[in-house]
Amino acid sequence: MRRFALILLLVLTTATVACQPRPPRVDVTPPPMPDAASGTWWNDRVFYEVFVRSFQDSDADGIGDLAGLIERLDYLNDGDPRTDDDLGVTGLWLMPVAESPSYHGYDVVDYMAVEQDYGDAATFRRLMEEAHARGMVVIVDLVINHTSNQHPWFQEAAAGPDAVRRDWYVWSGEHLTYRGPWGEQVWYKRGDAYYYAVFVESMPDLNYRTPAVSDAIYEVSRFWLEEMGVDGYRMDAIRHLIEDGQQQENTPETHAWLQAWHDYYKGIRPQAMTVGEVWTRSEDVVPYVGDEMDICFEFDLASAILDGARGGTTGVVDSIAQKVEMLYPPGQYATFLTNHDQERVMTQLRGDEAKAKTAAAVYLTLPGVPFLYYGEEIGMSGAKPDERIRAPMQWSGEDQAGFSTVTPWEGLQADYATRNVEAQRADDGSLLRRYIRLIRLRSAYEALRTGSLIAVQTGNVHVYAYVRHSEAEDVLVVHNLGADPASEYTLNVRASPLAPGRYRVREMLAGVRGIAPLTVGAQGAIEGYVPLETLAAGESLVLVLR
């Protein structure tokens, strides 16, 4: 009898497992490497932000380096679209890799030298070759608003009023007392004069009213494109380039300088891309896109997505997403959840992995060009100060998290033993597996990469839905942002580009079964559609319409 019971239990368990949904196979065609005829090639890619110091230490000094990053490239993209244990990203953004006296690199002392802690020029070029061989493009941080106060240019400028490079920085003979954009001190004494630094004393602003400064930065831009082979730049703090007295951001002179620089670097390599950091409201970001930057980061949308995941309601994220889509040229903005200056997603969501999965599903299925901060795909935590949100990558539960064989430059997060790549790779229900699946879906479906956004009314404040439409296909995305199951909802669209008719519907994210067919009426209308009787708490559906 006991043996019969054990056999019955085994049969029932096997049947239960067999009935669980499995994600359907997704065939991914890697995007071609960009050339002069590629147009907006960045829309076909998903980028990954890497802090080299914290990614992988190859030489046992506790500091991540370029050789270590090369060792880990197969995790990011192994070059084989048939595999599904790599993350599948197709672009890398490297935080500053130029020589700097600080750990973060945003105060440069030599624009045309690789940071010694990271390696040398030969290793950087090898990284470019290895990344390109796997189908990944690489962009680097270009920090041109300011230098380090240890940069030779500033050391010369600070020698006195008659110094050769005095006018390479912004000086005042009197102590000006007005504050900066965030109420911070911006004037600092050096000798008998004061210099301007919008961020901190150790980062004096360059003076772009001096033609020689522009010439020098043009040469830096050419060097990294031509001699180091990068595919473009993430442009740091560009709204602060040129001040006009107390107007310290978004000045007409800043826009004019960026337009001229855009023409210059596009003349060197037409397919090179730029993504700008303009950390302000969307309306003030849009003027930078087009003839200045190719795309810019969308901070309002990032906040709205996290607010929706945190609060469980659609209002803010729905309205901001629609506004953003109307403001920009189609899809020409960069989406993200957090970056190296913000508390990590898992910390903001108070450790709620279900909400982190929802946030990932929203931003990786909306229009734009996605950027993923390293470690967010495994739910790394991190609160200020900045060093703690830039802590070493958690590869495994072994000593030093697989990042190094010695004590890292910055301490590991406390949960590294359980929240790491190795553990999550083996767990089909993990956050990492969710990211891998979403990135593969985005890479596989043109509608998710470049399709327009069609808002869908749901009649439920917790259910967020939209259609991504392209000439090739249509994808309907539905999210239950709430903490409870949702059964009282219907999907409605008054008019859309969808052709009238009856559609077969297949769920591609988790392989959910039992999805109802969809009937589209005249003028592309959708009325009262319920794809699934009940949406589980935090559930996301990616529905491909046939």
Q: What amino acid positions are annotated as catalytic residues?
A: 236, 277
* DSSP structure string for 370-394: EEEETTGGGT----SSGGGGGPPP-
Spatial separation of the C-alpha atoms in residues 330 and 90, rounded to whole Å: 21
Q: How far is CA 511 from CA 135, 387, 536, in A?
A: 28, 40, 14
Strand residue runs (E) in 59-104: 91-94, 98-99
Spatial separation of the C-alpha atoms in residues 440 and 478, rounded to whole Å: 18
Picking from 214, 231, 211, the residue whose alpha carbon sits closest to that of residue 294 is 231
Residue type, 366: L
CB atoms within 10 A of CB 432: 21
Angle CA(264)–CA(267)–CA(268) in degrees, nearest 5? Answer: 95
Helix (H, G, I), strand (E, B) or coil at 360: helix
Spatial separation of the C-alpha atoms in residues 17 and 31, rounded to whole Å: 35
DSSP-assigned letter for residue 247: B
Q: Is the dihedral of CA 63, 65, 67, 72 positive or negative?
A: positive
Look at the block and give the residue holding tokens 């959840």.
Answer: 337
From the CA atom positions of the chain, what is the Rg in Å?
25
Look at the block and give the residue holding tokens 């049947």.
Answer: 15
195 contact partners, CB below 8 Å, separation of at least 6 = 158, 169, 170, 171, 172, 187, 188, 204, 205
Spatial separation of the C-alpha atoms in residues 316 and 302, rounded to whole Å: 11
Token pair listed for 323: 């506004």
CB atoms within 10 A of CB 108: 27
